């Protein structure tokens, strides 16, 4: 059973087609890494999957067409960590995490024990429990990223969509966030799609890598196959393989 199926997905901004007839599917347990040059259409593709920009084609989550799914039901099944987010800066960390439970309730109904437990567990899993009373304006970028991840964990969707979840984090936080996502994925029925600039991370953590270029899928395969030296050279216009070897060789001394 596929968690997500995408058929002939296209997005245009005015005259410009930014995603050009993409078709792919993601199974339970998969972490699909979407990579490719700046402007390739990666964020736009995630936005379309989130139903945040108009598109043509069909996207199905657990076999159900997302375009006709009620927003609340959709919010229960998929969660997004955006590339840029506007946090309400008066919120505390705990309030941010509690927002992840809102789709489970009518506007006025109170939280029950299951909600409280989910919030506490998410805070603890992401190491933000000690920070729960802090306003998000007074924590670091890495801590904020973990708070938003905690919100997604509390929400407990089937599919996580992450737009460069670790790109602004220092290495310790990067490792922590990637490991948290890896751990989250272990439960049956879950899948992750993330945009990932760092090709080494894409290869290390992805079960699959999609190379997007000018809105077209150039490769969608096992990481080592999708990130072949020939394709990388063509898409990035430079010898990426040599550059990566050069960058990492010094650490072997």
- Identify the sign of the CA torsion 92, 166, 62, 187: negative
Report the 10 Å Cβ neighbour count for 182: 12
Choose from ligand ADP, Mg ion, none: what does 40 bind? Cβ within 5-8 Å by kind: ligand ADP
Tokens 């991840």 — which residue? Answer: 149
Segment near ligand ADP (CB under 6 A); pick from 2-10, 32-40, 72-80, 167-175: 32-40
How far apart CA 30 and CA 127 sit, in angstroms, is: 25
43 binds Mg ion (CB under 5 A): yes
What's the number of CA atoms in the CB half-sphere (13 Å) around residue 169? 19
Minimum separation from the CB atom of position 41 to ligand ADP (A): 5
> Exposed, middle or buried, 93 (CB in 10 Å: 0-12/13-18/19+)?
buried
Q: Which residue in 9, 22, 26, 40 binds ligand ADP (CB under 6 A)?
A: 40
39 binds ligand ADP (CB under 6 A): yes
Minimum separation from the CB atom of position 131 to ligand ADP (A): 30
Residues near ligand ADP (CB under 6 A), total: 10
Choose from ligand ADP, Mg ion, none: what does 223 bind? Cβ within 5-8 Å by kind: none
Q: Which residue is nearest to Mg ion (CB)?
A: 43
Quick one: tokens of 221? 């395969």
User: Binding residues for Mg ion, per CB under 5 A?
Assistant: 42-43
């Amino acid at each position: 059973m596929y968690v997500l199926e995408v058929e002939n997905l296209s997005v245009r901004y005015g005259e410009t087609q930014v995603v050009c007839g993409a078709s792919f599917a993601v199974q339970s347990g998969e972490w699909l890494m979407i990579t490719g040059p700046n402007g390739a259409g990666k964020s736009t593709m995630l936005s379309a999957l989130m139903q945040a920009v108009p598109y043509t084609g069909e996207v199905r989550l657990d076999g159900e067409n997302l375009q006709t799914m009620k927003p609340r039901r959709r919010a229960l099944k998929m969660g997004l960590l955006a590339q840029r987010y506007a946090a309400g800066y008066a919120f505390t960390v705990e309030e941010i995490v509690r927002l992840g439970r809102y789709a489970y309730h009518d506007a006025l109904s109170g939280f029950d024990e299951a909600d409280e437990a989910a919030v506490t567990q998410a805070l603890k899993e992401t190491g933000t429990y000690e920070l729960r009373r802090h306003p998000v304006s007074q924590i670091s970028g890495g801590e904020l990223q973990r708070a938003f991840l905690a919100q997604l964990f509390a929400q407990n969707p089937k599919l996580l969509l992450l737009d460069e979840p670790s790109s602004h984090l220092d290495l310790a936080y990067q490792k922590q966030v990637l490991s948290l996502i890896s751990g989250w994925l272990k439960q049956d029925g879950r899948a992750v799609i993330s945009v990932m600039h760092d090709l080494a991370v894409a290869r290390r953590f992805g079960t699959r890598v999609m190379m997007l270029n000018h809105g077209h899928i150039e490769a969608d395969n096992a990481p080592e196959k999708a990130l072949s030296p020939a394709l990388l050279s063509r898409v990035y216009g430079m010898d990426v393989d040599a550059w990566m070897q050069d960058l990492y060789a010094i650490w072997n001394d």
